Copies of this chain bind each other. A is one copy, B any other.
Amino acid sequence: MAYRILCVEDNPEIGKLLSEQLINAGHACDWVTDGEAALTALYRDTTGPRYDLVMLDLMLPRMDGLEVCRRLRRRDSLTPVLMVTAKAATRDVVEGLEIGADDYVTKPFQLPILLARVQALLRRGQQRASGDDDIGGTPPLVCGPLVIDTDQHRVELDGEPVQLTGKEFALLSLFARHPGHSFCRGELLDRVWGEEFNGYDHTVNTHINRLRNKIEADPARPRFIETVWGVGYRFTSRCDAASPDAGVGGESP
């Protein structure tokens, strides 16, 4: 799938090579040659992040790459930054990473490695980007036997499709994006129903109940959605208890 990448590189040979390769890999790549142009490009659109990844050289005309990164991070801590530079000293690498880079590659680089690192960053960044309202292009979320495709609004359990209603799907995908986090009922109402909804907390119970009946082998002993007493509910990524003796009424406290 196509991602938007900003390449900041003053060396024309390297810049040309990189943008060609990135476009070749199927991405949309803009290439600028100095720090101020980089910031301009990054902030051109205020409605959302303009790029899914920034490749940043450090020694740049008009504004240092570190400074670009610093300013970017001041406004946007999400867009992944990959520093590509000749500065290979230990303290340079550490400084770059501490300022907010997500990865750091020193020149001369192996092109395949650089591209693989780009892919890894895009993959990771994309998962993060899937907020509560899902935009297209998000890869499915895999949680053990559960596959949740927010894009297609589809859920599979052990390869079998599961039919969920709107609220059930919204609940499950919220849970799956925050495995382990304990949500209280009010929080769930806010995030799934919307803050303007004012109904009863125990509406959540009913929906959790219906959801469990669809995805749990034994709804009384839920494997995915646990009850946190006095708090709310929590999604589990306890994937290993796949099927050894699921459903057998053994009592092992």
Residues of chain A at the chain B interface (Cβ within 8 Å): 43-49, 73-78, 80, 90-91, 93-94, 97-98, 101-104, 110, 112-113, 116-117, 119-120, 124, 127-133, 135-136, 139, 141-144, 149, 151-154, 165-166, 177-182, 191, 226, 228-231, 234-241
Q: How far is the CA of A113 from the CA of B87 in the complex (A)?
A: 13
Residues of B within 8 A of A113 (CB): 90, 93-94, 97
CB A188 to nearest CB in B, in angstroms, measures 11
Cβ of A124: which chain B residues have Cβ within 8 Å of it? 80, 102, 124, 128
Contacts of A120 in B (CB 8 A): 97, 101-103
Tell whether A116 pairs with B94 under 8 Å between CB atoms, given A151-B182, A152-B180: yes
Q: Is the CB of A239 within 8 A of B165?
A: no
B239 touches A43 (CB 8 A): yes
Rounded to whole Å, the gap between the CB of A14 and the closest CB of chain B is 18
* Cα–Cα distance between A73 and B120 once the two chains are bound (Å): 13
Contacts of A49 in B (CB 8 A): 179-180, 237
CB of B234 within 8 A of CB of A142, answer: no
Assembly CA distance A177 to B191 (angstroms): 30
Residue in A48, A49, A74, A230 with the greatest tally of chain B CB atoms within 10 Å = A48
User: Are the CB atoms of B129 and A178 closer together than 8 Å?
Assistant: yes
Residues of B within 8 A of A152 (CB): 180-182, 234
